[in-house]
Amino acid sequence: MITKGFTFADLFAGVGGMRIAFERVGGRCVLTSEIDEKALATYFLNFPETIDHKLVKDVLKLSTKDFSLDPGELDVMVAGFPCQPYSLAGLRLGLQDDRGGEIFTALLRLLRTVKPKSFLLENVKGIRSHDDGNTFTYMLEQLTKCGYTLRHETLNSMTHANVPQNRERVFIVGFRDSSQAASFEFPKRKKLTKTIHDCLEPNEVGEEFYYDGKYPASREISSAVKSRDTIYQWRRHYVRENKSNACPTLTANMGSGGHNVPLVRDQKGVRKLTPRETANFQGFPKSFKLPKVANSHLYHQFGNSVTVPLIERIAKQMAIALESGK
């Protein structure tokens, strides 16, 4: 815990994974921005005080007055901004995509006007290779022009957070003070000691999660999903076995449209992960509350979220670097 404390703004907040991580190391959230109403329902359930403090849903409409701090006073701006334009699974239009271009331009505007002392951006690994690396190079150039010294790295939840999910993400950290940037270090590799069983429900779950006999592909799925120590995926037309002894990358479309559905075999049969289990594979605390909404919404929310313990390790290093410059 960093006892001095610091302020942060939670942009593209989702269900609050970034917020949990930064609060754990002494951060105080001063602004929340999230446009998805269903994600906000989950966020409000777990952070009810957000209703009383500053909430601006659309990042494109944010301005300096919304931060309730003078330019240069905010310690950290956090933004796990939408990945669809840069994902290998998306349209890969990058900054030519309306969402990608407008959102990144808005982030640059906020960095120039709000002038946070530091920032953390998170996105999919594919952002590095988009357009032969030109998109990522351009983004780094523009972020540097905003007055920041940058550090960036690709980290995996499985290798850097002791969370059994194979999830690679790109992290960009920037500091206005170059000496703070020099003192910042991304977290080192951490041995994976947890298994999928640390995240799976220990008892039988609801009937609605089981595949046996319910779908045309049930027989094929039941035949392919053999081990109780492995998570499989239904990939529209075939079952994929994940040999890493970890959960494959959770996605926003898991459980919908018959694609990317994580499958397990338990004492009763073959089933998909429950929403609580997807939260567990993202490292959310057991105390995190799930609203009574359709499971498809919860799958979407946790697939879009971040791995909390990994963000916590990065947040701790940022807090140390900020403190070093005082």
Which tokens hold the place of 258?
């018959």
DSSP 3-state assignment of 9?
A: strand
| DSSP H or E segment with residue 309 | helix 308-324
d(CA 117, CA 280) in angstroms, rounded, equals: 32
Report which of 116, 78, 76, 22 is spatially closest to residue 315, judged by C-alpha positions. Answer: 22
Angle at 17 between CA 15 and CA 20, to 5 degrees: 115
d(CA 110, CA 131) in angstroms, rounded, equals: 26
Report which of 6, 46, 13, 21 is spatially closest to residue 180, judged by C-alpha positions. Answer: 6
Q: Is 83 a catalytic residue?
A: yes
175 pairs with which residues across the strands?
118, 149
| C-beta atoms surrounding 29 within 10 Å | 21
Q: Check 29, 83, 199, 247 and give the catalytic one.
A: 83
For residues 303 and 257, the answer to whether their CB atoms sit within 8 Å is no
For residues 140 and 295, the answer to whether their CB atoms sit within 8 Å is no
DSSP 3-state assignment of 152?
A: strand
Which residue type sits at 106? A
- Which of the residues are catalytic? 83
